[in-house]
């Protein structure tokens, strides 16, 4: 059976956790394909709240194999702490598979992330300072350490020595920080982290392909959302990976023909107009009195693949039943394409207050403010997003 990709179509916090938990009931494998512990999902089950950062949402179902794919950057101490917390609440963590090709977030990544943000001053990006960006940078520079390196102490020490030579020089000579102790890092990661993580390490690409060949249902779960995509987002205020559907192929090791369905999650209003740390405008959003407002309405669009015989453009409400709605493409005031070609939409604000888009106002759409320098959007043209292409 082909795979299903779940993506956020805006700037995150659309409620993907709720939907992934709902869909996980009918799948056998759930794969997290990008991001790190700078994002995650909050799921409430029978009154219990589970905050997941690295582990896929499907872990809460006994029949699901949760997989951390090769596109994820893993902070192993955070992952082990999350596993311990879930185990303490009765969740079986023996099913978890971590790709040996996933890259590690190391202590020097976190330190560089912190000092870089500090030295940028007013130009800072507002990162989580958890080392995600520097870890992806090292991956692209081909000097990163991978999860599988923990299984070979000699290789781990060799790679660590090489990369620390550069990182310590940058920390000491550029940022006036003390260098990190390579022996101390190696002792912790090889002595404490490796033995605990070793049983989880596996070949995630082979596992996913075997599941596809066996006809199992697979869900590919991303973090963040479309407009935080490194290539297609509101650069430079983006994440360091590709949360879009195309990123799911790279982050899991499957081809696009293995994906049958892409589900895009959207909120009725956007809530990432400005960065909370810098106050700089990041994206289009709903603004009232200078603050972004957010609404609990979550819309879900199921986008079939191009092989599907009958594309559907109907949006179904997957939030509070008492306020359920059903919208079709022809009813969406922000779509500029026909219902047969439309792929992703964002619902309008339910507010009837006056709306300000640049210098224009619209009484029926609520108060939208859009930055034309960052997004080529207008009040009548919210695009089919890259998440659904």
Contact assessment for residue 301 and residue 332, using Cβ atoms and an 8 Å cutoff: no
CA atoms of 6 and 58, how far apart (whole Å): 13
Query: What is the C-alpha separation between 312 and 342, in angstroms, rounded?
Result: 9
Least Cα distance to 286 among 372, 359, 355 occurs for 355
Q: Are 383 and 335 in contact (CB under 8 A)?
A: no
Exactly one of 21, 37, 41, 232 is catalytic; which is it? 41
> How wide is the angle at C-alpha 146 spanned by C-alphas 140 and 147, nearest 5°?
150
- Over its C-alpha atoms, the chain yields an Rg (Å, rounded) of 22
Contact 22, 272 (CB under 8 A): no
The answer to whether residue 13 is catalytic is yes
Mutual angle of helices 204-213 and 245-252, in 10-degree steps: 110
Distance of CA 86 to the CA centre of its chain: 21
3-class DSSP state of 86: helix
Distance CA 317, CA 348 (A): 14
Q: Which 8-state DSSP code applies to residue 240?
A: S
Nearest CA-CA partner of 299 in 347, 241, 364: 347
Whether the bond between 236 and the residue before it is cis, its omega within 30 degrees of 0, is yes
> Cβ distance 385 to 9 under 8 Å?
yes
Q: Is residue 41 annotated as a catalytic residue, yes or no?
A: yes
The token pair that represents 180 in the structure block: 């990190």
Q: How far apart are CA 229 and CA 95, in angstroms?
A: 30
Q: DSSP character for 310?
A: S
Distance, CA of 377 to CA of 68 (rounded, Å): 35
Direct distance between the N- and C-terminal alpha carbons of the chain, in angstroms, rounded to an integer: 21
List, by residue number, the catalytic residues.
13, 41
């Amino acid at each position: 059976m082909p795979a299903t990709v779940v993506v956020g179509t805006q700037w995150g916090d659309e409620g993907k956790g709720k939907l992934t938990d709902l869909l996980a009931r009918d799948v056998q494998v759930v794969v997290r394909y990008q991001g790190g512990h700078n994002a995650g999902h909050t799921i409430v089950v029978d009154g219990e709240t589970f905050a997941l950062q690295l582990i896929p949402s499907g872990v809460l179902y006994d029949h699901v194999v949760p997989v951390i794919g090769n596109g994820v950057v893993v902070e192993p101490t955070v992952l082990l702490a999350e596993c311990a917390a879930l185990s303490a609440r009765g969740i079986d963590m023996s099913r978890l598979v971590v790709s040996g090709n996933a890259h590690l977030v190391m202590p020097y990544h976190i330190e560089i992330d912190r000092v870089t943000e500090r030295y940028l001053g007013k130009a800072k990006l507002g990162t989580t300072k958890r080392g995600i960006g520097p870890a992806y940078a090292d991956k692209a520079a081909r000097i990163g350490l991978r999860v599988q390196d923990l299984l070979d102490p000699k290789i781990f020490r060799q790679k660590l020595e090489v990369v620390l030579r550069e990182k310590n020089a940058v920390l000491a000579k550029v940022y006036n920080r003390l260098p990190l102790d390579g022996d101390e890092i190696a002792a912790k990661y090889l002595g404490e982290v490796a033995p605990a993580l070793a049983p989880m390490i596996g070949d995630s690409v082979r596992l996913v392909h075997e599941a596809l060949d066996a006809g199992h249902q697979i869900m590919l779960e991303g973090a963040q959302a479309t407009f935080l995509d490194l290539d297609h987002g509101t650069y430079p205020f983006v994440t360091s990976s590709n949360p879009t559907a195309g990123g799911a192929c790279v982050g899991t090791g499957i081809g696009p023909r293995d994906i049958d369905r892409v589900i895009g999650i959207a909120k009725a209003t956007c809530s990432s107009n400005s960065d909370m740390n810098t106050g700089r405008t990041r994206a289009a959003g709903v603004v009232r009195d200078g603050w972004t407002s957010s609404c609990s309405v979550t819309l879900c669009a199921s986008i079939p693949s191009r092989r599907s015989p009958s594309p559907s453009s109907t949006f179904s409400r997957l939030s509070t039943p008492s306020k359920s709605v059903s919208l079709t493409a022809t009813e969406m005031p922000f779509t500029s394409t026909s219902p047969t070609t439309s792929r992703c939409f964002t619902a309008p604000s339910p507010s009837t207050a006056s709306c300000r888009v640049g210098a224009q106002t619209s009484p029926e759409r609520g108060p939208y403010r859009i930055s034309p320098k960052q997004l080529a959007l207008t009040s009548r043209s919210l695009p089919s997003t890259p998440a659904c292409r």
